Structure 1
Amino acid sequence: MKGIVFSEFIELVEEKFGLDIADTIIEESDLPSQGAYTQVGTYDHTELIQLVSKLSEHTEIPADDLVKTFGEHMLQRFVALYPQFFENVDNCFDFLDTIENKVHVEVQKLYPEAELPSFDSMKSENGMQLIYRSNRPFSALAYGLIRGSATYFNEDIDIEMDDQSSDGKSFVVFTLSHKN
């Protein structure tokens, strides 16, 4: 997993919970990297799971809720760091429809070794379905990114999450619809 994800997570923890909590969760986790992340480095995704778990213990906020919040934060950071992904797109569903065939293509050019999840999208007149597949258990992060994109485009959407994961592989169907 790319270091930008880790460094943004630590930044969010410092911002929302303070430097002391960030230091504590790093110290209490068994991290091969020792919590020294660079944005272009590559790290084992289990380090992020450990950090989230420790943060959940200290804040008493469920881990999935923390990861969803992190997903929203990441969307804001993507807007700031990669504004080209949001050009010529004027709504949440159109943006989400570009993830697999535009955003991930460009990410692979920048980071050829990155292991990205896949997003198959199907739009309809009533909404959209996104099928998330990954070798890592980060569907809550995808949920947060979806919610963050709705916020960015100032849209009020419902997000239903049907988790069909098995054998350690994430497979989640997100059904999105505009609130009436």
Structure 2
Amino acid sequence: MKGILFTEFLEMVDQKFSPELTERIIDQVDVPSGCAYTTIGTYDHTELVQLVVQLSKETDTPVTDLVRAYGFYLFERFVRTYPRFFSGIKDAFTFLEGVESIVHAEVRKLYTDSKPPMITATRQGDDKLEVIYESQRCLGDAAHGLILGCVDYFGEKMSVERQDIDDSGSSVRFLLTRAS
């Protein structure tokens, strides 16, 4: 997993909680990297899981809520960091339909060792979009937060229904329905 996902997580903890809490969770996890992340480095996703679990213990917040909040935060960061992916895009459906073919294709070109999740977006009429998330990293909650962040960014009113396809969170179906 690319280091930017780790550095952004720690930045979120700094901003949403405190730098002191960030240091505390770093001190309390025992991971191979020692939590010395660089944005272009590659790290095992289980290190992020350990950081989230420790944050959950420190804040008495469910892991799923923290991971979803991280996904929402991450979308905002992607908008600021990679504005070219949003240029000319007018709505959430259009953006989500291009995640795999545009965003993830670019990630794979830049970082040949990266393995972003598979995102399949399929229109089911003018007002419905099905999004399937698949990844061995089991971060369906992060995908949920990213989708909510996308909807918020584009200022659309819509419902987001979630259906876990498996119990691990490695395959999740989202149905987005625009409000009439």
TM-score band by shorter chain is: over 0.9
Residue matched to 1:23: 23
Counterpart amino acid of residue 118 in structure 2: S
> Structure 1 residue 111 and structure 2 residue 111: aligned?
yes
Counterpart amino acid of residue 4 in structure 1: I
Residue matched to 2:130: 129
Cα distance in 1, alignment partners of residues 6 and 28 from structure 2: 16
Identity over aligned pairs, percent: 42
State the TM-score, normalized to the length of structure 2: 0.96
> Structure 1 residue 142 and structure 2 residue 117: aligned?
no
| Shift in Å, 1:169 | 7.0
Counterpart amino acid of residue 56 in structure 1: S
| Shift in Å, 1:158 | 1.0
Counterpart amino acid of residue 45 in structure 2: H
The residue correspondences of 1:26-45 to structure 2 (distance < 5 A) are 26-45=26-45
Q: Where does structure 2 lack aligned partners over 5 or more consecutive residues?
A: none
State the TM-score, normalized to the length of structure 1: 0.96
Cα distance in 2, alignment partners of residues 158 and 130 from structure 1: 13
Moved over 3 A (4+): none
Residue matched to 1:63: 63
Residue matched to 1:156: 157
Counterpart amino acid of residue 41 in structure 1: G
